Amino acid sequence: MLYAIVKSGGKQFHVEKGMKLELPLFDAQPGENIELNEVLLCSNGDEVVVGTPHIENAIVKATVAGETKGEKITVFKMKRRKKNRNKTGHRQSFTTVKINDLVLPIIDNNPVIEEVNVSEDQTDAAPEVAVEAAAETK
């Protein structure tokens, strides 16, 4: 099962291919294709890759389905003994998107890992320094 955790609007969302998702409202027209670049984690079921803070070259492609509103929240403020009452409501706006594709580096079975070349001089020097430091403390 291929899935990813993406960040949008300061919140994190679990996404899979084909699912519909309500993201915080952003400026996009219905039918427009968008890319979510801030992929924090991806997995193909066997391997999990965690970004620091996000995974490079990982993109979630989606299509904007439209805009919706959440449930109404009633806010009631009152000051006792003062006849001061205030009742207001709020409905949060969301952008509904359909996830089309997950372009993740883990799918290629070649995770993006940088190889570090260490010369023999560097590997031999570290243990000697540790031994000398231990001898000085005794």
pLDDT at residue 110, rounded to an integer: 47
Question: CA geometry: angle at 101 spanning 19 and 60, to 5°?
Answer: 90
pLDDT above 60 for 122: no
Residue (of 10, 22, 37, 21) closest to 102 by Cα position: 37
pLDDT at residue 33, rounded to an integer: 96
Domain coordinates of the chain in residue numbers? 3-113
Please tell me the pTM assigned to this model.
Answer: 0.69
pLDDT at residue 37, rounded to an integer: 92
Per-residue pLDDT band at 38 (split at 50, 70, 90): very high
User: Alpha carbon of 51 to those of 31, 38, 104: distances in Å?
Assistant: 30, 9, 12
Q: Which amino acid is at 81?
A: R
The tokens describing 131, both together, are 């031994």
pLDDT above 80 for 20: yes
Average pLDDT over residues 95-118: 70
Backbone angles phi, psi at 28, to 5 degrees: -155, 145
Average pLDDT over residues 101-123: 60
pLDDT tens for residues 53-66?
889 889 999 999 99
Question: CA geometry: angle at 112 spanning 46 and 51, to 5°?
Answer: 70
Buried b (16+ CB within 10 A) or exposed e, 67-80: eeeeeeeeeeeeee
Half-sphere exposure of 6 (CA within 13 A, CB side): 24
pLDDT tens for residues 45-95?
888 889 888 898 899 999 999 999 999 999 999 999 999 999 999 999 999
